[in-house]
């Protein structure tokens, strides 16, 4: 890799570290190509990405970034799983680590907050952005449905009373 290519990689990694909601660092020693493709597919499906980069270039890209603290985790064969959603990459990494013993999560970062192994697990257990939005919409929509039901109920009660009175009058 020549100098221009290295500078491009450092710039790309810098953008990843700056714009990602969460970055998870893991060792992937012994994973097959098919297993890595599976991890990439799961991350893509969840709205995240997976990146293998030279540790030295990643450490250069980390300088001055909010998640600079993860530089200590970059040793050996490391892979970065990241996403804009603060939970998606952590969930993908946790799920993949449960199924594959060769994928070992070292830690990560969520903005300026460094995460150890337990921190990544805690983040993966949080609801995703979509789940939070759905629950908020559900909370907002429930009172509106109750109000509509309460407004419609007296009208249906009056209609049933009038129907009963008509039936008695006809008899």
**Residue closest to 49 by CA, chosen among 27, 19, 21, 80:** 80
Rounded to whole angstroms, the Cα distance separating 34 from 22 reads 25
Query: How many Cβ atoms sit within 10 Å of the Cβ of residue 93?
Result: 31
Instruction: Please state the φ and ψ torsions of residue 25, each to the nearest 5 degrees.
Output: -105, 130
Rounded to whole angstroms, the Cα distance separating 88 from 50 reads 12
Rounded to whole angstroms, the Cα distance separating 90 from 120 reads 6
Mean pLDDT of 32-37: 93
Q: How high is the pLDDT of residue 141?
A: 67
Local structure of 116: helix, strand or coil: coil
The pTM of the full predicted model, rounded to 2 decimals, is 0.71
Counting Cα atoms < 13 Å in the Cβ hemisphere of 88 gives 21
Please tell me which of 8-22, 26-40, 116-130 the model is most confident about, judged by mean pLDDT.
26-40
Tens digits of per-residue pLDDT, 124-155?
A: 888 777 777 777 777 776 666 666 665 666 66
Query: How many Cβ atoms sit within 10 Å of the Cβ of residue 142?
Result: 10
Per-residue pLDDT at 39 exceeds 90 = yes
Mean pLDDT of 45-54: 90
Instruction: Please state the φ and ψ torsions of residue 103, each to the nearest 5 degrees.
Output: -95, 105
Tens digits of per-residue pLDDT, 77-121?
A: 999 999 888 888 899 999 999 999 999 999 988 888 888 888 888
Q: How high is the pLDDT of residue 67?
A: 82
**Residue closest to 98 by CA, chosen among 160, 39, 32:** 39
DSSP codes of every residue in 86-108 = TTHHHHHHHHHHHH-TT-EEEEE
Local structure of 166: helix, strand or coil: helix
26 pLDDT band, cuts 50/70/90, is very high
Structure tokens at 132: 């939070």
């Amino acid at each position: 890799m020549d100098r221009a290519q290295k500078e491009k990689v450092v710039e790309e990694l810098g953008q990843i570290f700056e714009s990602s909601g969460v970055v998870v660092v893991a060792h992937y020693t012994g994973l097959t190509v098919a297993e890595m493709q599976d991890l990439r597919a799961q991350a893509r499906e969840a709205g995240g990405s997976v990146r293998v980069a030279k540790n030295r270039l990643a450490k250069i890209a980390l300088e001055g970034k909010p998640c600079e603290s993860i530089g200590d985790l970059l040793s050996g064969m490391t892979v970065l799983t990241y996403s804009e959603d603060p939970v998606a990459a952590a969930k993908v990494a946790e799920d993949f680590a449960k199924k594959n013993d060769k994928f070992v999560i070292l830690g990560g970062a969520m903005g300026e907050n460094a995460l150890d192994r337990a921190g990544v697990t805690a983040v993966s257990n949080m609801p995703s952005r979509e789940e939070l939005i759905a629950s908020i919409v559900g909370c907002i929509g429930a009172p509106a449905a109750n109000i509509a039901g309460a407004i419609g109920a007296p009208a249906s009660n009056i209609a049933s009373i009038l129907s009963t009175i008509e039936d008695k009058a006809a008899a």
